Structure 1
Amino acid sequence: MGEKKKFIRDSVYGDISFNEFETNLMDQPSFQRLRRIKQLGLINLIFPGANHTRFEHSIGTMYLASRLSEELELEEDDVGLVKTAALLHDLGHGPFSHVSEGVLSFPHEELTKYVIKNTSIRDVLEEKYDVNKIIEIINGEGSLGPIVSGELDVDRMDYLLRDSHYTGVAYGVIDYERLISNLKLEKTLTLDLKGVQAAEGALVSRYFMYPSVYQHHTTRIVNSMFRRILKRLIDNNTINEKEIYKYDDTDIISICRQSDGFIKDIITRLDNRNFFKRAFTMRLENFKNPEKIYKITQDQLRKAEEEIAEYYNLDKDYVILNIAEYPRFDEMKTQVSVDKKLYPLNEISNIIGALSKARFNIPDISLYVPKEDKEKFKKFKINNFLDLPEIDKDKHHGIHYDQLKLF
């Protein structure tokens, strides 16, 4: 008789099977913690259905890794390595996922490596695999790495499908079956020409999911508010950032609710949806060199916030400058196989080429303040407080939110 398998009913793919080894990994406390970490952080304050967790995403990523491994006809041991790496790839995420990562001085991948090496996960892994090999694949290294962390990886496929499903936003629906069936593993993960349309669809989906969900203007406001109080908890040594992997969402919320002063005020505002408001915004396409906006440091933003607060007689903690976070869209570099030669996807696809030029049409730099202070900023000029690239006078200037017709 073969090994008895267990099944989990997944809301996206249906039944997903697990062998005894995988089940044992999932039963470890550091993996079970992922049940209490929301995949999209605080986005359920904007999209009420977005309550899915890193636990679900991890098993979904493992399922797609299994499907792709079969398609690539990997050897049995390599299939196991890839599936295990996919299952464990997000172990180091802090509370509310990427929201907390914006405060930490290191990426969640560093904590994933630490958790794998320093918890009971390691004891289980070493029964079957080299721990360093698993970490290598999670980091996108070696011949198998691109399957889990690459340009068209299973991690990205799952979160687009899953986030779309739970938010109710249709943009993230991608043809993952066609993508998987047209990927080949040579020296790297390459795409067959027949899969180009599916890859275009995935990239366009991700492009639209950012303004619609991940960087929705209210998402950015609540994330900015939460990051400010999490930073305060770290700065006053209430939380050790190097041990953030020990906390879940509820832990942090409870600590905040039991605090006083600024932390208590902000968590109460989040609890009651009394969010800051956008007092000013300027789209990056208004600048002649929009890419330079991303070179503005956090220290420069904090200094500008302090100067704005002093000028308008506000508490500096209640003034937030935010630049929309947008990805590099590495999928554009995916190698496409055409007549046994490889070409970057953006050279094969006109759509992808156009997307690379359109990248700065949506992101903006915005100012957030409490609702009761918003009226003070009707004549606000950001250039008085922040050294920005030259403005393209043929395009729109920064304007007060009430006048904004572009969103």
Structure 2
Amino acid sequence: MKFIRDSVHGNLKLSEFEVRVVDTPQIQRLRRIKQLGFTSLIYPGANHSRFEHSIGAMYLASRLGEHLGLSEEKTGILRLCALLHDAGHGPFSHVSEGVLERSHESLTLELVGESELSDIISEEYDPAQVMSILRGEGVLGQAINGELDVDRMDYLLRDSHYTGVAYGIIDVERLIYNMKMENDLVLDRKGVQAAESALLARYFMYPSVYQHHTTRIVNSMFRRCLRKLIDQKELDASRIYIYDDMDLIVMCRNHEGFIGDMMRRLDNRDLLKMVESVKLNELEDPHRVFKITETEIKRAEEEIAEDMDLDPDYVIVNLPKYPAFDEMRTQVSVGDSIVNLSHISSLVGALKEARFNHADICVYVPGENVDSFRDFSLHDYMDLPERRPSHPRQLRLTVPDYLKFR
């Protein structure tokens, strides 16, 4: 038995088997991967790792297993899956995932099925069952990869703790206490308020942390570097899970030309500037934005660069991540029926409408080129939905005023 002191949950107990899993290179690599990528450029305290999050999710899995009355074996496999669930994350977490063809979930399954992890896991559990749970199959799978899972509970608490942003604080105790096992993992009606609180927490964490305007700029800059490395065959995207954050930073720092310059800008916080922001809630059909292809984006960037006499590598059109909010689909036990959370919560309906309020399409260029974009409109370069009549194009800030807002 071993104890790990966690800054969020306190002392966490690990069995000898779990210690062996933790000590594999695949899990130790997570110590060297930041949970929030480059967010520490905005929130200096956000230096926590995927390893810390994985340990925290494992702890919450045991709390949930005990509450549900699971056997020691089932609680053990639930803990193991929570520990493993992010093993396939690439460097800087979701930042690198934006340029990969495969999700971190599928890369995790590959690691569990083929690496030395599989040999250790098979001493206690069936690796096929572990992979099934990681895919979100069955009741146990819903606890790891569902609407209100232990992964989400931990990262909201942890990200809030390290950024100092209070919006992510949720009532984990009440959520777990009101979880029930029926045909699926469901929430008792008494836990609806706690579920609404979790939904609100994610809603407010998006513009404050996950999709903060500066976070999106730095992530876009680094993704452009990764895309270049992959296109030039200097980085094997299919084996991204062998690298850690520092591996890619060193690779970029040692590079000449655009990649080296972009890494220098990130190191010195000499960031690209936003010259256009098209708010989705101002458009007639915001859903259409998420059908825009990479080819359309690349063509727009090249045309903008040509008109503004810029290197196209330094023009970035950034689309927002679709605000899905899976918690809206949480199943709630009401008497003898199971209903969707959205059917009994008016708050869910309001958030469904409000989720596009903070989403926007942005254009980033170097600060020294901002003057050229005084009369720029992205609608001239992309087939975007029309603006709603109630949202005429806003007057643009002057360059000196704008540069105050980094």
TM-score range relative to shorter protein: over 0.9
Alpha-carbon contact 1:61-1:86 (below 8 Å) kept: yes
Is 1:174 paired with 2:174? Answer: no
Q: Distance in 1 between matches of 2:346 and 2:271?
A: 41
Is 1:288 paired with 2:284? Answer: yes
Amino acid at match of 1:82: L
CA offsets, 1:248-271, max 9 Å, x none? 000000011111000000000000
Match of 1:21 among 9, 17, 22: 17
Alpha-carbon contact 1:281-1:400 (below 8 Å) kept: no
Q: Distance in 2 between matches of 1:367 and 1:401?
A: 15
Q: Distance in 2 between matches of 1:235 and 1:291?
A: 30
Q: Distance in 2 between matches of 1:281 and 1:327?
A: 17
CA offsets, 1:127-166, max 9 Å, x none? 0111111111111112210000000000000000000000
Cα displacement (A) at 1:390: 2.2
Q: In the alignment, which residue of structure 2 is the partner of 1:47?
A: 43
Secondary structure of the equivalent of 1:281?
Answer: strand
Is 1:96 paired with 2:70? Answer: no
Amino acid at match of 1:280: E
CA offsets, 1:3-49, max 9 Å, x none? xx110000001000000010100000111000000000010111100
Distance 1:399 1:279, change over 3 A: farther
6-15 or 108-117, larger mean C-alpha shift: 108-117
CA offsets, 1:290-316, max 9 Å, x none? 111111111111110001000111100
Q: In the alignment, which residue of structure 2 is the partner of 1:397?
A: 393
Q: Distance in 2 between matches of 1:318 and 1:36?
A: 29
Secondary structure of the equivalent of 1:7?
Answer: strand
Q: In the alignment, which residue of structure 2 is the partner of 1:227?
A: 223
CA offsets, 1:61-120, max 9 Å, x none? 000010001111112211111111010000000000000000111111111111112221
Cα displacement (A) at 1:396: 4.2
Is 1:126 paired with 2:116? Answer: no
Q: In the alignment, which residue of structure 1 is the partner of 2:255?
A: 259
Alpha-carbon contact 1:28-1:121 (below 8 Å) kept: yes
Amino acid at match of 2:381: F
Is 1:272 paired with 2:271? Answer: no
Q: Distance in 1 between matches of 2:169 and 2:275?
A: 33
Q: Distance in 1 between matches of 2:49 and 2:356?
A: 30
Q: In the alignment, which residue of structure 2 is the partner of 1:75?
A: 71
Match of 2:210 among 202, 211, 214: 214
Amino acid at match of 2:274: R
Q: In the alignment, which residue of structure 1 is the partner of 2:82?
A: 86
Match of 1:366 among 347, 362, 369: 362
Q: Which runs of 4+ in 1 moved over 3 A?
A: 398-404
Alpha-carbon contact 2:290-2:322 (below 8 Å) kept: no
Is 1:387 paired with 2:394? Answer: no
Match of 1:344 among 340, 345, 367: 340
Alpha-carbon contact 1:46-1:219 (below 8 Å) kept: yes
Cα displacement (A) at 1:327: 3.1
Q: Distance in 1 between matches of 2:353 and 2:336?
A: 28
Tell me the percent identity.
Answer: 55
Q: TM-score, normalised by structure 2?
A: 0.97
- Alignment RMSD: 1.4
Amino acid at match of 2:254: Q
Alpha-carbon contact 1:152-1:331 (below 8 Å) kept: yes
Q: In the alignment, which residue of structure 1 is the partner of 2:146?
A: 150
Q: Distance in 1 between matches of 2:322 and 2:270?
A: 26
CA offsets, 1:377-398, max 9 Å, x none? 1111211100011221112426
Distance 1:382 1:233, change over 3 A: same
Q: In the alignment, which residue of structure 1 is the partner of 2:309?
A: 313
Secondary structure of the equivalent of 1:129?
Answer: coil
135-144 or 156-165, larger mean C-alpha shift: 135-144
Secondary structure of the equivalent of 2:11?
Answer: strand
Q: In the alignment, which residue of structure 2 is the partner of 1:183?
A: 179
Secondary structure of the equivalent of 2:37?
Answer: coil
Secondary structure of the equivalent of 1:226?
Answer: helix
Alpha-carbon contact 2:133-2:141 (below 8 Å) kept: yes
Q: Distance in 1 between matches of 2:260 and 2:245?
A: 16
Alpha-carbon contact 1:59-1:87 (below 8 Å) kept: yes
Q: In the alignment, which residue of structure 2 is the partner of 1:117?
A: 113
Unmatched segments (≥5 aa) in structure 2: none
Alpha-carbon contact 2:323-2:356 (below 8 Å) kept: no
Cα displacement (A) at 1:325: 1.3
Distance 1:238 1:349, change over 3 A: same
Is 1:302 paired with 2:298? Answer: yes
Alpha-carbon contact 1:280-1:401 (below 8 Å) kept: no
Secondary structure of the equivalent of 2:246?
Answer: helix
Is 1:353 paired with 2:359? Answer: no
Q: Distance in 2 between matches of 1:366 and 1:372?
A: 18
Distance 1:16 1:401, change over 3 A: farther
Amino acid at match of 2:130: I
Q: TM-score, normalised by structure 1?
A: 0.97
